[in-house]
Amino acid sequence: MKVLGISGSMRKDGNTAQIVRYILAKVQTAGIETEFVSLADREIKPCTGCEKCKETKWCVIEGDDWSAVAEKMLEAEVVVLGSPTYYYDINGQMKNLIDRTYSFYHDRKLAGRNAVAVTVCADRGCERSLETIEGFLNTHQFSYLGHVCGKAYLPGEIMTDARAVRKSDEAARKIINLLQPHD
Ligand SMILES: Cc1cc2nc3c(=O)[nH]c(=O)nc-3n(C[C@H](O)[C@H](O)[C@H](O)COP(=O)(O)O)c2cc1C
């Protein structure tokens, strides 16, 4: 698949999910294949720091959904990575997903892919969430297409944040230009 959108929120249809899906919907109008993954209904265990992945080059933890999501990331040309802000940073589920991609760092499996970072907070802290996601993207040598920092509290409020919607339109346009440069 070309463009993979991931929402780390445990609210299946929360603000992060809605704004990530909004970007994917825009991209789809250009005939580009997209897929949306919510981590809300997935079990993603935390990294144990065992360092075995230095040899196996894949996370050795079994019995959860990490590998299925990680495989989708490897298949994607563009990843739209979204997280709600919990205590001025990304939420635990998204952090678990990211931490276990350490197993891909040893041979730079994710390098060369493109990414858009999406964070949502009610009031303050989404900039730091963004820094965390950017740290992940830089470490793995993604090309960075841009970010959306949205303000919203209750599920659905994000779509009334005009700036976030505008930034999402921009992000979608960049993805389309990247994947269909002649259109
Ligand atoms: C445990 C928890 C911690 C939160 N911490 C912050 C915070 O530090 N700053 C903030 O502005 N909003 C905070 N919020 C509010 C959420 O970021 C906000 O409701 C956001 O829209 C949730 O996105 P979602 O609907 O995608 O889950 C917190 C919410 C929860 C449940």
Atom of ligand 1 nearest to the CA of 157: 21
Tell me if the domain spanning 3-41+51-154 has CATH number 3.40.50.360.
yes
pLDDT at residue 182 above 70? no
With 0-12 / 13-18 / 19 or more C-beta atoms within 10 angstroms meaning exposed / middle / buried, residue 165 is: middle
Nearest CA to ligand 1 atom 30: 86
Out of 86, 153, 154, 158, mutate this one to test ligand 1's pocket (max ligand atoms within 8 Å of CB): namely 86
Residue 58 Cα to ligand 1 middle (Å)? 31
What is the Cα–Cα distance from 109 to 58, expressed in whole angstroms?
10
Express each pLDDT in 51-110 by its tens digit: 999 999 999 999 999 999 999 999 999 999 999 999 999 999 999 999 999 999 999 999
The answer to whether residues 148 and 19 touch, using CB atoms and an 8 Å cutoff, is yes
